[in-house]
A and B are shown apart, each in its own frame.
Chain A
């Protein structure tokens, strides 16, 4: 089946620094990638939708200047948390979908746990 990887799996950073998270589709071309965040014991909340070669579409309430998303190729999307603060600590999960499949199933990455001190 389709495999999506994320890197890093865990990151701890100081408040005020920026952190980049990579999401890669390993064996298929992902025309669309999604970024979610999940707080402990809560559901997944969609942050933004990223289409290759175009600007990301952010959900209401998500600061586009704080969460920079780049989808430069059909296999890679990056999420950069700029000037991170403790309240940004969360589990960030990406997913990828390949257009043309009947179900347009989203394949999820393993997640990145961000801790901001």
Chain B
């Protein structure tokens, strides 16, 4: 059974702190996506990771992909309140074509 597991599912952190969200998946995938969702809103694309060792950074967020370990990380540096949202990873398994399989999501709350 295909599984995409995120942890933690809920993260409360203080402004200025660093933390990492993990995304493990159980099948071969050549693409991994990170999305942000604000309450009541749709998904905003953050990163697309296409190859082993890929690392992308945007502002205080940095994502990486290790296809051999089937692991992606989303690292938050010096968190600010505006980063509060739900973060989803999603994989595109080779046998699924264009279909995305989402993790459960990580609810991030950054306290001022």
Interface residues in chain A, defined as those with a beta carbon under 8 Å from any beta carbon in chain B: 32, 34, 41-46, 49, 93, 97, 102-111, 113
Contacts and interface: CB of A to CB of B under 8 A. Distances in A.
A93 B31 CA distance: 21
A111 B41 contact: yes
What is the interface of chain B mostly: helix, strand, loop, or mixed? strand
Interface of B: 31, 33, 35, 40-45, 48, 50, 88, 92, 98-105, 107
Contacts of A41: 107
Contacts of B98: 32, 34, 49, 97, 104, 106
Contact of B43 (A49, A97, A108, A113): A108
28 contacts: A32-B98, A34-B98, A34-B99, A34-B100, A41-B107, A42-B105, A43-B88, A43-B104, A43-B105, A44-B43, A44-B88, A45-B102, A46-B99, A46-B100, A49-B99, A93-B43, A97-B98, A103-B50, A104-B31, A106-B98, A106-B100, A107-B45, A108-B35, A108-B42, A108-B43, A108-B44, A111-B41, A113-B40
B31 A109 contact: no
A103 B102 contact: no
B27 to A, nearest CB: 15
- Chain A CB within 10 Å — which of B44, B98, B104 has the most? B98
B33 to A, nearest CB: 8
A108 B45 CA distance: 8
A94 to B, nearest CB: 9
Contacts of A110: 41-42
A63 to B, nearest CB: 19
